[in-house]
Amino acid sequence: MVDRDVLVKPEAKRVFVRRMFDGIAGTYDLLNHVLSLGIDIVWRKQTIDKLQPEANWHILDLATGTGDLGFESAKRGTHIDVVGVDLSVPMLRKGVEKNPAKSDTLKFLCGDCEHLPFPNELFDGLTIGFGIRNVANLEPALMEMCRVIKPGGRAAILEFSRPRTPFFRSIYNFYFRSILPIIGRLISRDPSAYHYLYESVMRFPEGPEFCRRLENAGFTQVQAFRLTFGIATIYMAHKN
């Protein structure tokens, strides 16, 4: 099980999340594909479909991990440059290794969503996949995200959510709570990582509540698009 402090105390959560991803970096991509039966690849493509990046865009991919969402953005048009930011250096190193052409369209940087080292209104677009629920302080992170986007820019946030249909929700909860941690432990050898996944998804303020928090941070035209029976949701937000 996960220490309760990790779920309720920002500094404890920040330390835990960094150590967790440092520890599972080597198996992270494999686990994502195995545990989601490959549908995480489809979700990422759908996220960039919603973002609709344009030629010459400068995109920030937060909680980039090994760069999957950033790589997807970079190949969607000409002269699209992406900066991928993550707390975990081992995850970033895996991302560098995954770039076979050694293209400079995706650059990796170690950093924290709550304190982004960028000037105001630098990026045309922003993405974050399965990472927003891991930030230690949600509101400051959302305000930082809004700060670094240009007026007229867009943000696309992909995150797990909770199905609303009772029957499917019961199956989902059983898989997340009982099956997923066993598979995760066998592959990653980290007994806490996938217990944390379940707990963090259950505590995340998804749906209308998260849309409200995006609006409070300064975003407008906020929309939520539920995917695959509500297992995941894409949140689209604009900066006017």
Highest mean pLDDT among 75-84, 90-99, 148-157, 162-171: 148-157
Average pLDDT over the chain reads 92
Q: Looking at residues 45-73, what average pLDDT do you find?
A: 97
User: Going by DSSP bridges, is the β-strand pair 149-160/123-129 parallel, antiparallel, or unpaired?
Assistant: parallel
pLDDT at 102 over 80: no
pLDDT band at 101 (very low <50, low <70, confident <90, very high): low
pLDDT at 149 over 80: yes
CA distances from 149 to 27, 224, 240 (A): 32, 19, 10
pLDDT band at 1 (very low <50, low <70, confident <90, very high): low
Out of 3.40.50.300, 3.40.50.720, 2.40.50.100, 3.40.50.150, the CATH code matching 4-238 is 3.40.50.150
pLDDT at 86 over 80: yes
Helix ranges, the chain (H): 4-8, 10-24, 28-35, 39-51, 68-74, 89-97, 138-148, 166-174, 180-188, 193-203, 208-216
pLDDT at 188 over 80: no
CA distances from 30 to 8, 41, 103, 235 (A): 29, 12, 23, 25
Rounded to whole angstroms, the Cα distance separating 141 from 60 reads: 13
31 CB neighbour count, 10 Å cutoff: 21
